[in-house]
Amino acid sequence: MNNLTIAVPVIDGLTPSSLTIDEHPPTHRVNETDDAFEVEVELPGVDKRHATVAVTGCVVVIRARRSDDPAPAFHIELRLPATIAQDHCRASLVNGVLSLRLPKWRAQATWVQVD
């Protein structure tokens, strides 16, 4: 089965820049709180060993494949409206649902000694 790249509509104000699927786009939800983004993606048949999440700035890339298929089955790139605190992200894949907690990066004042 060939992969298909499609444009997808805005989801909760967030526009995925690309989505690659093999049959049907997986259901996914994005929720924004004051301090984080919470993302859930349904990935039936995907083991956590075959899923990766990369975070750079405000971009999140999710890739996954089914255990019995060597070809990538799923790829999505989300461009979020705020920079993510990369060192504090959490991800879990339980019962075919990938859950991400992506805290927003907050600028903090740094005091500089005046000599």
Q: pLDDT at position 115, please? A: 87
Sign, Cα dihedral of 30, 31, 34, 35: negative
Identify the structural domains of the chain with CATH numbers, from first to last: 4-103 (2.60.40.790)
The pLDDT tens digits of the residues spanning 41-65 come to 988 888 888 899 999 999 999 988 8
> pTM for the full model?
0.71
Pair 84, 102: CB distance under 8 Å:
yes
Q: pLDDT at position 32, please? A: 94
